[in-house]
Amino acid sequence: MSILTYIGIQGGSVRRASLEVLSQCRKLAAAQGLAVEAVLIHPQASDFVAQVQRYGAQKVYTVEDPIFEQHLNAPLVGALAAVIEQAQPRVVALASSEAVKDVLGALAARLDAPALADVSSFELTEAGVRARRPVLAAKFIARVEAEGQPVLVSVRAGAYDAEEAPAQAEIEALPFSFDEAKPRPTLREVIGASGGAVDLSEARYVVAAGRGVRDEEGKKLIDELAEVLGAAIGSSRAVVDVGLFPATSQVGQTGKVVSPDLYIAVGISGAIQHAAGMSNSRVIVAINKDADAPIFNYATYGLVGDLYVILPPLIEALREAKG
Amino acid sequence: MKFSVCIKQVPDVAAPIQVRGGELVHDTGRLVLNAYDASAVEAALVLTEAHGGEIDLVLAGPQAGQETLRKALAMGADRATHLIVSEEADLDAATYAVLLARHFDETGHEVILCGKQAQDTDAGLTGAMLAEKLGLPYVTNAVRLEQEGDTLVVTRQGDTGQEVLALTPPCLVTCSNDMNDPRIPTLKGIMQAKRKPLDAREADLPGAPRTRVLGYENLPEREPGRVLDGDPADIARQLANLLHSEAKVV
Ligand SMILES: Cc1cc2nc3c(=O)[nH]c(=O)nc-3n(C[C@H](O)[C@H](O)[C@H](O)COP(=O)(O)OP(=O)(O)OC[C@H]3O[C@@H](n4cnc5c(N)ncnc54)[C@H](O)[C@@H]3O)c2cc1C
Ligand SMILES: Cc1cc2nc3c(=O)[nH]c(=O)nc-3n(C[C@H](O)[C@H](O)[C@H](O)COP(=O)(O)OP(=O)(O)OC[C@H]3O[C@@H](n4cnc5c(N)ncnc54)[C@H](O)[C@@H]3O)c2cc1C
pLDDT for position A277: 96
Tell the burial category of A238 from Cβ atoms under 10 Å away from its Cβ (0-12, 13-18, 19+).
Answer: buried
Nearest to A78 by CA among A190, A189, A182, A187: A182
Ligand nearest, relative to CA of residue A141 = 2
Q: How far apart are CA B7 and CA A321, in angstroms?
A: 52
Q: Do the Cβ atoms of B12 and B28 come closer than 8 Å?
A: yes
In 3D space, the residue among B70, B102, B71, B73 whose CA is nearest the CA of residue B85 turns out to be B102
From the CA of A142, the nearest ligand is 2
CA–CA separation, B110 vs B142, rounded Å? 17
**Chain B residues in contact with A187 (beta carbon < 8 A):** 163-165
Return the pLDDT at A196. 43
Q: How many residues make up chain A in this entry? A: 323
Residues of chain B found within 8 Å of residue A258, distances taken between Cβ atoms: none
Which of B126, B201, B217 to mutate to test ligand 2, by most ligand atoms within 8 A of the CB atom? B126
Local confidence pLDDT in tens for the 250 residues of chain B: 999 999 999 999 888 899 999 999 988 888 999 999 999 999 999 999 999 999 999 999 999 999 999 999 999 999 999 999 998 888 999 999 999 999 999 999 999 999 999 999 999 999 999 999 999 999 999 999 999 999 999 999 999 899 999 999 999 999 999 999 999 999 999 999 999 999 999 998 888 999 999 999 999 888 889 999 999 999 999 999 999 999 999 8
β-bridge partners, A190: B163
Rounded to whole angstroms, the Cα distance separating A311 from A72 reads 41
A-chain CB neighbours of B129 within 8 Å are 105-106, 108-109
Query: How does pLDDT run across B86-114, given as a tens digit for each residue?
Result: 988 889 999 999 999 999 999 999 999 99
Q: Tell me the nearest-neighbour CA distance from A168 into chain B, angstroms.
A: 31
Of B123, B139, B153, the CB nearest to A117: B123
Distance, in Å, from the CA atom of B174 to the CA atom of A211, rounded to the nearest integer, reads: 27
Backbone Cα Rg of chain A: 21
Residues B148-188: tens digit of each pLDDT = 999 999 999 999 899 999 999 999 999 999 999 999 999 99
My answer on whether omega of the bond before A150 falls inside 30° of 0, hence cis, is yes
Please tell me which of the candidates B125, B137, B219 has its beta carbon nearest to residue A117. Answer: B125
Task: Return the closest-CA partner of residue A147 out of A126, A170, A167, A165.
Answer: A126
> Largest alpha-carbon pair distance within chain B?
69
Classify the C-alpha dihedral A67-B112-B101-A254 as positive or negative. positive
Contact state of A183 with B167 under an 8 Å Cβ cutoff: yes
For chain B, helix, strand, coil in percent to 5 are: 30, 35, 35
Do residues B59 and B8 lie in contact, with contact meaning Cβ atoms separated by under 8 Å?
Answer: yes
Q: Are A44 and A64 in contact (CB under 8 A)?
A: yes
What is the value of pTM for the model shown?
0.96
Phi and psi at residue A177, in whole multiples of 5°? -130, 155
**CA B120 to ligand 1 centroid distance, Å:** 20
What CA–CA distance (Å, rounded) separates B67 from B70?
5
One-letter amino acid at B193 equals: A
Q: For atom 41 of ligand 1, which residue has the closest CA?
A: A306
Q: Say if ligand 2 is within 6 A of residue B8 CB.
A: yes
Is the CB of B117 within 6 Å of ligand 2?
A: yes
Between CA A288 and CA A285 the distance in angstroms is 10
CB–CB contact B160 A10 (8 Å) = yes
For chain A, helix, strand, coil in percent to 5 are: 35, 30, 35
Chain B residue with minimum CA distance to A247: B157
Alpha-helix residue ranges (DSSP H) falling in chain B = 35-51, 65-75, 93-107, 126-134, 187-193, 232-241
Q: Supply the ipTM of this predicted assembly.
A: 0.96
In angstroms, the Cα distances linking A119 to A134, A158, B158, B166 are 7, 11, 20, 32
User: Of B138, B43, B39, B58, which Cα lies nearest the Cα of B96?
Assistant: B58
Q: Are B94 and A108 in contact (CB under 8 A)?
A: yes
B231: CA distance to ligand 2 center in Å?
A: 49
User: Chain A partners of B133 at a C-beta cutoff of 8 Å?
Assistant: 109
Tens place of pLDDT per residue across chain A (323 aa): 999 999 999 988 999 999 999 999 999 999 999 999 999 999 999 999 999 999 999 999 999 999 999 999 999 999 999 999 999 999 999 999 999 999 999 999 999 999 999 999 999 999 999 999 999 999 999 999 999 999 999 999 999 999 999 989 999 999 998 888 889 999 999 998 654 467 798 899 999 999 999 999 999 999 999 999 999 999 999 999 999 999 999 999 999 999 999 999 999 999 999 999 999 999 999 999 999 999 999 999 999 999 999 999 999 999 998 87
Question: Would you call A181 an interface residue with chain B, using a CB distance cutoff of 8 Å?
Answer: no
